[in-house]
Homo-oligomer: A and B are copies of this chain.
Amino acid sequence: MDKTLRKGLQLVEALASSNTPRGAAELGRELALTRSNVSRLLGTLAILGYVRRADDAGRYVATLKTWEIGMRIMRRDPLRRTAQPFLRALHAEVGLNVFLSVLEGGDVLYIDKVEAETISHVSAQPGMRLPAFLVSSGHAMLAWHEPSTVAARVQVHPRADGLDMTALGADLFLTRERGFAMTVDGSRQGVVSLSAPILVDGYPIAAVAISGPKNEVTEARRQVLVSALRNAAARISETLSDLGQVDYGETAGKAMGWSG
């Protein structure tokens, strides 16, 4: 492990997560680094364009360079590239927010979104994480993992305190039985979310979700929505399988062998 590289990246991450410019002394305290060490690394990062001095007090902010490099990676991502036309078609069909996400540890990481212009409620954005046990996308993926993997991912989650594992287990069983996940008031009050896994060789490499306010995702409408959702997930799965180059490392590593 190269410590200088680690410290430099920690500084970029700290500034990326900060709402305000940060100085070397403050960053040093947060990351347990000396102030001179931080100053030197910030100087290098500034020359390389990752951060810039924001004021005369010598405080720094993250520039858009990290974003620009990250977008280069994302533009090529085979999952997103493959899924995008199907997500758009699903959105056109149902008129609700459509999401694509993967599992990262105990979190759902949102990869893409097609947003309904008329829906005003705040919802997840690409690049955001939410606890997998809280949202339907998470349930859709966890339900196709081994119970031991689910427990390992969920129980160490910082927000898992007080979580009813029995209820979660029952929900995941039901999710698997019916082939889709549903949460009501999951991460947002008043929002219903429906999700289906994208399975490649039986692995839930990602999830597709649709969500909307309760009065739009009515019980009467759910069957049609679920059918459109599952169809989209199945077609993405097929296309990815045909590509034959799916490798989602962490996500695909520990899938289930349930016979159920």
A233 at the interface (CB under 8 A from B): no
* Cβ of A3 to closest chain B Cβ, rounded Å: 9
Copies in the complex: 2
A86 to B128 alpha-carbon distance, docked (Å):
23
Query: Is the pair B73, A40 in contact by a Cβ cutoff of 8 Å?
Result: no
Query: Is the pair A1, B70 in contact by a Cβ cutoff of 8 Å?
Result: no
Instruction: State the interface size on chain A (CB cutoff 8 A).
Output: 49
* Cβ of A94 to closest chain B Cβ, rounded Å: 14
Query: Is the pair A67, B68 in contact by a Cβ cutoff of 8 Å?
Result: no
Given A5-B4, A48-B6, A117-B88, decide whether A126 and B40 contact each other with a Cβ distance below 8 A. Answer: no
Binds B, one of A23-31, A74-82, A171-179, A190-198: A74-82
**Interface on chain A toward B: helix, strand, loop, or mixed SS?**
helix
* Residue numbers in B under 8 Å from A5 (CB-CB): 4-5, 8, 41, 44-45, 48
Given A16-B69, A68-B127, A77-B64, decide whether A44 and B1 contact each other with a Cβ distance below 8 A. Answer: yes
A17 at the interface (CB under 8 A from B): yes
A45 to B8 alpha-carbon distance, docked (Å):
11
